[in-house]
Structure 1
Amino acid sequence: MASDHRSRQPGDRHGHQFQQAPHARWRGHRSTPVAIVTAIDPIPRDALTGGALLDRPGAVALRYEVDHETAALHRLVLDAGGVIEGERVDLEHPCVSCAMREDAVAVLGRLAADPRIDAILLAPPISADPSVVAGTLVPFQGRWHLSAAAAVLEAQHVIDDLLGDMTLAERGLQWAAEDERSVGEALAAQIEYSDLVIVEGGEGAEGGAAGLELVEHLRSPEQLLLTSMHVLEPRLLLGGALDHTGALRRRDVRHVQAYGGPTEHGTWTLDLASDRPFHPERFLEDIELLGAGRMRGRGRFWVPDRPGTICQWDGAGGQVSIGSVHESGRELPTTRLVITGIDPEDLPRVRDAFDRCLLTQEEWAAGLAPWLGAEDRLSPWLGERDARV
């Protein structure tokens, strides 16, 4: 399943000055735009925010950094001239949502009340999930509002970062000790949530074209993709309103889509779908064949001894997370995995493993009655099932 989704660029901003009145109106109120900027590398993040501050007089950046030795959080407020203020933030619990709720909400309110400030770039800690950041902040909008979410990355590192097997802890990007995510899982979350994706060096840098092609397969048509931060106009970050609901829908396994993209550099996407559930035993036997390798996979599945549960498949760089995420309601759930990879030998292996994991036509024809009271082999990952099953 491949369709050519071209990069959509707004054109060169040089020579064009975008003007926006201070404290734009949002839902009928004077409100300061706040753009969320995420990354897994501080260099492109800082380059983007620094350039935006130069392009937008009156803008400031609110940046959070983690001291990995002490797990302490440091807050910086910067303008085009440098650091305005810096402070250590002590939290009851070191997590992104706590940082946003306990500190950022108050600071955003204070900055938005300053008549000298007409825009804010919020840079949460490196590796932060923008859906968590935005989800925590959305209820507090008013004097300020979320205008966009941008993910910035370097094209020549995309493949290793997204499809490699390193964890955040191994890369030195782990915040809390219990954060066991891979680098690929963190980056995928940033790419798939953000309405603006900037892939620096996608045209010309060694390995950049292949990295850009991979991102094309992962981003939806409504997400704007830029291949250089030099074409980023301030209005793209600060001139709108973040569609948090739409971004969450992109990440919801109930609405997973295969976007496809160019294949010149060998990127492929499989859209694997069936009404049938996975056979629990065969699924456990073949889970490595289904998820190992340099791939990004998302989707949903169900098992016949849990017909009321929609389960999530979330994998990157050979690490896979599964769990119960939704109730299916009156209708039986369906199974759909969208897998994107770059190594041709992985494609037939994944497709065959998917087919083996499904109930056979004969097993499916027997219905769900044989599964009543069956041993729950997936409880270590899915939790204890409903006692009524």
Structure 2
Amino acid sequence: MIPDPPKPPALSVLVAVDPVLRDAAAASLTLDAPDVVVVRHDLVPAAGALRRVVVDASGVLEDETVPLEHACVSCSVREDAVPTLARLAGDGRWHHLVLALPVTAEPLPVAHALAAQAEPGGALEGLRLAATVGVVDLDTLEADLLGDDLVDERGLALTDDDQRPVGEALAAQLEQVDVVVTSGGSPTGSGLVERLRAADGERVDGLHDLEPAVLTGRTHAPAAAERRAHPLGTPGSRPGHHRRGRDPHDRSWSLLLRSDRPFHPERLLAHVEDLGTGPVRSRGVFHVPNRPDSACLWEGAGGALCVADLGTWDAVAAGHRPVTRILVVGAGEPHEARAVHDRILDAFGEALATADEVADGGLRWLGREDVLAPWLGTRTA
């Protein structure tokens, strides 16, 4: 019998919004695993530099501060992570390499860049991109996801002008990664994870169960990761669905808003506060009749809301008819949830254009002031 050829060395990407939790996960992966090495990156924006720490089961192998032309995650990957990973892979001592990103970084852009470098002819040829993994604390997740703290207020900004809510960074990690690892025991935190994590992903409860095989047993699929990150890929097609049963003490909830009708531009502005602010995570797409070809992004977390023009429906969501679809996720006691649901549903209904208002295909908006231009940009047609 001819033995199976050995698998190529695996490469995983680790993210978190808590530096202690990220480092604990990295330590868990290297514990009693001499064939695992972790490359940990931390940006130092004020110095335009990057701190790189390389650790394996024997301890710290490298601890260096490297100047960068621009202190950003993409620069650190291009200028330091790729050559460092290539050098470590070439050493032959480790079968699993883990890149621990700066805290609050999104995994998708980095995984995409690493996957490209792992193609034939790339600097990481011979490595297999195994998994992206995010680590969350269930006991703080509700406050982190739905609170109004900004990353710079916690000293976690990736650039000097990084004003993202912590919830925005956390939600992106939860929604994009292949594997979510939890610590803590809050039922509501657990419920929020279930409502946001990828349907095709995996969940591991407890850092003690984060073994290298959990990651090396997977193969990262860039196309699947792109679908998760797409606003139409929001895991809201089955709101309230729990893949592991519902804990009676779980106070999390979700509400799916959907209509084939567009938002009325002026009424959207009038009701946007009731619709999109407060302690909720909201994400999806919408359209407006004065921009009939435009798919528009809706993304909110921690009391902050972003709307933007994504491009044409054909380019952004081929095969999808224009739709207004937003998943809202929150937490609270039943009476609180009902009040929030009623407020959001009322605002959603009021903000939608009526059938009569869209019957002429948007002609009634020709020549009218584009009140959404400050957010969506200048209308091209």
Question: How far 1:263 moved relative to its partner?
Answer: 7.0
**Match of residue 322 from structure 2:** 333
Letter in 2 for 1:309: S
User: Which has the bigger relative contact order, CA under 8 A and spacing at least 6?
Assistant: 1
Deviations 1:296-330 (A, max 9, x none): 11100011111111011111111111111131139
Question: How far 1:120 moved relative to its partner?
Answer: 0.8
Deviations 1:250-286 (A, max 9, x none): 1211333414233732221111111111111111111
Question: How far 1:69 moved relative to its partner?
Answer: 4.6
SS of the residue 2:257 aligns to: strand
Q: 2:73 aligned with 1:96, yes or no?
A: yes
Q: 2: CA distance between counterparts of 1:263 and 1:306? A: 44
**Match of residue 122 from structure 2:** none
Q: How does 1:224-239 map to 2 (within 5 A)?
A: 224-239=202-217
Q: 2: CA distance between counterparts of 1:76 and 1:135? A: 22
**Match of residue 174 from structure 2:** 191
2:149 corresponds to which of 157, 163, 166 = 166
Letter in 2 for 1:288: E
Change (3 A) 1:222 1:365: same
Change (3 A) 1:314 1:227: same
**Match of residue 261 from structure 2:** 276
SS of the residue 1:173 aligns to: coil
Q: 2: CA distance between counterparts of 1:111 and 1:284? A: 53
Normalising by structure 1, report the TM-score: 0.87
**Match of residue 16 from structure 1:** none
Deviations 1:335-372 (A, max 9, x none): 10010111312111111111111102221334311122
2:352 corresponds to which of 349, 358, 361 = 358
Question: How far 1:132 moved relative to its partner?
Answer: 1.7
Unpaired stretches in structure 2, ≥5 consecutive residues:
119-124
SS of the residue 1:161 aligns to: helix
Q: 2:57 aligned with 1:74, yes or no?
A: no
**Match of residue 231 from structure 2:** 253
Unpaired stretches in structure 1, ≥5 consecutive residues:
1-20, 26-30, 203-207
* Structure 1 outlier segments of 4+, above 3 Å: 261-264
* Alpha carbons 1:35, 1:121 under 8 Å: kept: yes
* Alpha carbons 1:197, 1:224 under 8 Å: kept: yes
Letter in 1 for 2:373: S
SS of the residue 2:91 aligns to: coil
Q: 2: CA distance between counterparts of 1:143 and 1:302? A: 44
Question: How far 1:70 moved relative to its partner?
Answer: 2.8
1:289 corresponds to which of 264, 274, 286 = 274
Question: How far 1:68 moved relative to its partner?
Answer: 5.5
Q: 2: CA distance between counterparts of 1:367 and 1:326? A: 19
Give the CA RMSD over aligned residues: 1.8
Change (3 A) 1:224 1:332: closer
Q: 2: CA distance between counterparts of 1:284 and 1:83? A: 53
* Alpha carbons 1:151, 1:197 under 8 Å: kept: yes
Q: 1: CA distance between counterparts of 2:81 and 2:71? A: 14
**Match of residue 44 from structure 1:** 21
Q: 2: CA distance between counterparts of 1:333 and 1:150? A: 33
Identity %: 41
Q: 2:373 aligned with 1:379, yes or no?
A: yes
Change (3 A) 1:75 1:24: farther
Deviations 1:158-210 (A, max 9, x none): 001010001111111002123221100000011100010011113xxxxx111
* Alpha carbons 2:176, 2:229 under 8 Å: kept: yes
Q: 2: CA distance between counterparts of 1:325 and 1:176? A: 24
